[in-house]
Amino acid sequence: MVSVIIINYNTFSLTAACIRSVYLHTKSVSFEVVLVDNASVECDADSFLQEFPQLKLIKSPVNAGFAAGNNLGIAAASGSHYLLLNSDTLLTEDSIGKAYYFLQSQPSAGVVGCRQVYPDGRIQFVARKFRSIQWELLDIFRFIIYRMSYEKRSQLMLGQYFKNDLTCEADWVNGAFFMMPATIVRELPGQQLDERFFMYGEDVLWCEQIKQLGYRVFFFADTTIIHIASASTAFKKQLQLRKIMVKHECAIMGLRKGKGLYYAVFCLLYVSKEYLRYLVKWTVFILTGKLIR
C-alpha cells in the first residue's frame, strides 16, 4: 500500500483538488491519503473530512515547515511506500500505481520521481544532477555542451538540457512527487526526513542522504502529473526565495565535499553566477516590467 502524504498550508481549494485527483485516478494499487495541516488559518482543517471522510487528518499546532510536516505524516502512515505529493499537483492518470510498480521493478531504487508539466503543458525540469564545479562551468560555457549529441548532453547535465523523454537515473528529483519505500526512511538519521531546511532544497538533501545509503534515484518518464508551481510575480519575493536556495545549495555542497578548497571555489563560482543571473533579471524587469525565468 502507498501512503500519499500531502501538506496543506492555507491552500484549501488547491489541496482538495489534489486529493480529489488522487482518489479519482489511483486504480492499480491500494493507497491511503494522509493529510497534514500545518496550522492553517484559512479555514478549519476538519473541512477536508466533509468531502474526504476516509483520509487521515493530522493537525499540526504550528507550521514547522515542509520536512517536519511530512515527518508527521510519515509517523501516521501505514503503507509500505510513501509518496510525498505537493498540494499544488493534479493527477490525470494512475501515476501513483505506475510509479509504484516501476519502483518495485528496481530493487536498488531509493526514490522515484515522475514527469511534471505546468498547466499549459510546458515541461518542468525535475530530473537533476547535483551541482558541481564542472556542471556550473559547462552551464556558463554552453557552446561546449551544445556541440555534443542530445543523448550525451542530456545525461551529462539533465535539468534544462534534458527533455524528460526517457526514464533514467538522476542525482535528485523534484519533491513535488517523491516516492520511496518506507524502509528507506528507517535507515535515515533519526529514522525520519532531515528537517534542517524549513522549505526549499529538502529534496536535494534527502536524495544526497539516500544515495549515501547506497540506493539509486530514478526519474520515471512514463507518467505525467500537472504541477501548478505558480511562481510569484513579485520580483522581490522571487529573489528572496532564490537567496534561500543558494544558501541551501552551498550548505549541501559542504555536506557532500566538506568545507575545503573545492567548497570555496564552488561557492564563489555558483554565487557569482546566480548574482549575475539576477542582475540581468532585475535589469530586464526595470526596463520592461517583465519578469523572466
Task: Report pLDDT for 47.
Answer: 94
pLDDT of res. 105: 95
Q: Tell whether the torsion through CA atoms of 41, 42, 43 and 44 is positive or negative.
A: negative
Q: What is the pLDDT of residue 292?
A: 57
Judgement on whether residues 282 and 240 belong to the same structural domain of the protein:
yes
**83 lies in a domain?**
yes
Statement to judge: residues 239 and 223 lie in one domain = no
| 90 inside domain | yes
Amino acid present at 144: I
Residue 109: the pLDDT is 96
Q: Is residue 149 part of a domain?
A: no
Q: What one-letter code names the amino acid at 224?
A: T
Q: Is residue 140 part of a domain?
A: no
Structural contact between residues 292 and 281, judged by C-beta atoms closer than 8 angstroms: yes
Co-location of 199 and 254 in the same domain = no
| Judgement on whether residues 77 and 18 belong to the same structural domain of the protein | yes
pLDDT of the residue at 236 = 64
Note whether 6 and 18 are within 8 A (CB): yes
Q: Could you tell me if residue 215 is inside a domain? A: yes
Task: Examine residue 145 and state whether it is found in any structural domain, yes or no.
Answer: no
Q: Which domain holds residue 205?
A: 2-126+164-227
Any idea what the CATH number is for the domain that residue 37 is in? 3.90.550.10
pLDDT tens for residues 151-174? 999 999 999 999 999 999 999 999
Residue 159 domain-assigned (yes or no): no
Which of 227, 260, 275 lies at the terminal end of a domain, its last residue? 227
Q: How far is CA 15 from CA 6, 26, 239, in A?
A: 8, 16, 26
Q: Which residues in the chain land under pLDDT 70? A: 230-238, 284-287, 289-293
Same domain? For 106 and 214 the reply is yes
Structural domain count of the chain: 2
- pTM reported for the whole predicted model: 0.92
